């Protein structure tokens, strides 16, 4: 989103997103299409990569991009198979700070791209992950701070329903999909509420599954569907936040006194290293999400005005506010005339590393699933049958075995928490594309009358 806004009207940008939060980006005039990820479980998991390949190929045929840029640390095999068929230049926007020894097999997909851009990190100095030393164009950290202004305190507080005259803490630990946020969130909230002068704003992600209980509705204000939060930072005197890339590269350069609680369950992103480095630099506090005593202690420190003043002073002396700027640089790169595509177009096996394929061949999918479960890894149901659906409008009540499938181009009808499947069709698309999308629906769902 930051890159699209940095490009502005100098080129036509269109997004294809697996995030159910994508409708929020569309509110800023960004044209695009939402595609459900395998985690929604509406598409049979063993068919989802084929579904993604069909969706992305159809989308690219409709949009006809000069450059396609993938943003993520794990290009899906369906994506890789799709772009092997495309004539446009394909790039990989790949953040660093991977956990040491994590995700290394993804780097073998580099040959499927024409170029790689790596936004650096405020903690790049301690990055020891697999991307270090790889051949990529490195740019400054990317942040929406580059392209968006902030409201003043009065306006920000008014829009969020806060009292601008009271000290206010923002509690924003994420959706809970990748780790516990209720435990550390409740711990921090109890500490803040023990100080009667403070009020708390708690974010509620549109895809949250593990919420922080709101124990006092007179002093705890729930924030729903507010994006991006950085526009409202001046309403907050302190923040308890996750230590993911986006949060850190908005809060810290903006100078908000922050306690970072890294998600220790993150598979690739080295949130602990990032949080510890910034705490050592003096621009943030840090506590692990599985150490509730430390969360309580550091939250209490954050409420101390002297500690917050020290964080602000360290922020000013360290110059972290001037280190972002990657969105502007990436936009400039993308606006250059694209070189001829020279990436690998052979039918390389992108689906899984060799060890995983061997395990599947020996154990079978059920046996491999049992091993994954023993190791505490995510297990997908490969035995699921295709969903029975009927086409129609969003259901008004509970459904049985046959789900309603909603086909929509209006972003207002994309409900990220919907219990029914949504096939979002690019607004203003051609009748040829719309027909192709119906064919994809027919291919991956069992349609009943």
Q: What is the pLDDT of residues 70-83, one digit of tens each?
A: 999 999 999 999 99
Helix H or strand E encompassing 17: strand 14-17
Distances in Å between the Cα of 352 and the Cα atoms of 111, 335, 355, 358, 377 are: 15, 33, 8, 10, 15
- Distance from C-alpha of 8 to C-alpha of 228, rounded to nearest angstrom: 18
Show the domain range for 416.
Answer: 16-47+385-449
pLDDT of residue 398: 82
Q: In the predicted model, what is the mean pLDDT of the chain?
A: 88
- Among 268, 303, 321, the domain-final residue is 321
Q: Note whether 205 and 166 are within 8 A (CB).
A: no
Residues 299 and 224 in one domain: yes
Residues 295-324 as b or e (16 or more Cβ within 10 Å = b): bbebbbbbbeeebbeebeeebeebebeebb
Residues 161 and 277 in one domain: yes
* Other CB atoms within 10 Å distance of the CB of residue 427: 13
> What is the arithmetic mean of pLDDT over 265-275?
93
Residues 399 and 308 in one domain: no
User: Residue 90 pairs with which residues in a beta bridge?
Assistant: 68
Q: Is residue 422 part of a domain?
A: yes
- Among 287, 306, 321, the domain-final residue is 321
> What is the arithmetic mean of pLDDT over 264-293?
95
pLDDT of residue 10: 96
pLDDT of residue 176: 45
Lowest model confidence (mean pLDDT) among 73-82, 158-167, 217-226, 388-397: 217-226
Q: Is residue 258 part of a domain?
A: yes
Res 108 pLDDT > 70: yes
pLDDT of residue 117: 97
Residues 298 and 409 in one domain: no
- Among 303, 321, 339, the domain-final residue is 321
Q: Is residue 357 part of a domain?
A: no
Residues 313 and 419 in one domain: no
Share of the chain above pLDDT 90, in %: 70
pLDDT tens-digit profile of 45-59? 999 999 999 999 999
Q: Note whether 94 and 129 are within 8 A (CB).
A: no
CATH number at residue 232: 3.40.50.2000
Lowest model confidence (mean pLDDT) among 120-124, 125-129, 159-163, 203-207: 203-207
Please provide the size of the chain in residues. Answer: 449
Q: Note whether 193 and 216 are within 8 A (CB).
A: yes
Q: Note whether 241 and 261 are within 8 A (CB).
A: yes
Residues 290 and 217 in one domain: yes
Cβ neighbors of 240 (< 8 A, separation 6 or more) are 169, 170, 171, 172, 173, 185, 188, 258, 259, 261, 299, 302
Q: Is residue 60 part of a domain?
A: no
Q: How many domains does the chain have?
A: 2
Residues 190 and 312 in one domain: yes
Q: Is residue 241 part of a domain?
A: yes
Residues 27 and 169 in one domain: no
Sign, Cα dihedral of 293, 250, 205, 180: negative
Q: Is residue 379 part of a domain?
A: no
pLDDT of residue 23: 84
Res 421 pLDDT > 70: yes
pLDDT tens-digit profile of 228-241? 999 999 999 999 99
Residues 303 and 189 in one domain: yes
The single-letter DSSP state of residue 393 is S
Q: Is residue 170 part of a domain?
A: yes
**Which of these, 273, 231, 233, lies nearest to 257 by C-alpha position?**
233
Give 326's pLDDT tier (boundaries 50, 70, 90). very high
> What is the arithmetic mean of pLDDT over 387-412?
89
Q: Where are the beta strands (DSSP E) in 158-198?
A: 168-172
Cβ neighbors of 213 (< 8 A, separation 6 or more) are 182, 186
Q: Is residue 317 part of a domain?
A: yes
Residues 313 and 389 in one domain: no
Residues 308 and 411 in one domain: no
Residues 201 and 308 in one domain: yes
Distances in Å between the Cα of 292 and the Cα atoms of 183, 184, 257, 261 are: 7, 6, 20, 10
């Amino acid at each position: 989103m930051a890159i699209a806004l940095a490009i502005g009207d100098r080129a036509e940008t269109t997004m294809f997103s697996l995030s159910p939060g994508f409708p929020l980006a569309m509110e800023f005039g960004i044209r695009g299409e939402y595609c459900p990820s395998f985690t929604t479980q509406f598409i049979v998991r063993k068919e989802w990569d084929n579904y993604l390949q069909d969706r992305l190929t159809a989308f690219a045929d409709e949009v006809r991009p000069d450059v396609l840029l993938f943003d993520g640390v794990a290009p899906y095999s369906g994506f890789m198979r799709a772009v092997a068929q495309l004539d446009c230049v394909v790039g990989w926007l790949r953040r660093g700070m991977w956990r040491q020894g994590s995700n290394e097999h993804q780097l073998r997909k580099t040959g499927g791209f024409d170029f790689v851009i790596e936004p650096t990190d405020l903690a790049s100095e301690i990055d020891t992950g697999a991307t270090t030393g790889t051949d990529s164009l490195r740019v400054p950290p990317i942040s929406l701070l580059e392209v968006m202004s902030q409201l003043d305190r009065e306006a920000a507080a008014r829009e969020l329903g806060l009292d601008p005259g009271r000290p206010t803490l923002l509690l924003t630990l994420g959706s809970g999909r990748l780790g516990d946020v209720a435990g550390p969130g409740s711990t921090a909230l109890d500490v803040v509420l023990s100080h009667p002068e403070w009020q708390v704003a708690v974010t509620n992600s549109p895809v949250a599954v593990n919420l922080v209980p709101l124990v006092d509705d007179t002093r705890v204000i729930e924030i729903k569907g507010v994006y991006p939060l950085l526009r409202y930072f001046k309403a907050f005197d302190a923040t308890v936040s996750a230590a993911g890339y986006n949060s850190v590269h908005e809060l810290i350069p903006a100078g908000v006194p922050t306690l970072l609680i890294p998600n220790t369950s993150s598979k690739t992103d080295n949130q602990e290293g990032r949080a510890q480095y910034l705490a050592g630099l003096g621009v943030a506090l840090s506590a692990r999400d599985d150490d509730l005593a430390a969360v309580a202690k550091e939250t209490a420190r954050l409420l101390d005005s002297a500690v917050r003043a020290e964080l602000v002073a360290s922020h000013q002396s360290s110059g972290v506010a001037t280190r972002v700027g990657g969105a502007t640089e990436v936009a400039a790169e993308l606006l250059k005339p694209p070189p001829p595509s020279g990436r690998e177009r052979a039918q390389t096996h992108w689906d899984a590393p060799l060890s995983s394929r061997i395990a599947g061949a020996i154990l079978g999918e059920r046996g491999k699933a049992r091993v994954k479960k023993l190791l505490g890894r995510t297990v997908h149901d490969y035995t699921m049958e295709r969903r029975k659906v009927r086409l129609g409008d969003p259901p008004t009540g509970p459904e049985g075995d046959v789900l309603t499938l909603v086909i929509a181009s209006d972003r207002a009808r994309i409900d990220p928490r919907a219990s029914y499947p949504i096939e979002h069709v690019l607004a203003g698309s051609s009748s040829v594309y719309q027909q192709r999308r119906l064919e994809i629906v027919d291919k991956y769902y069992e349609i009943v009358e």
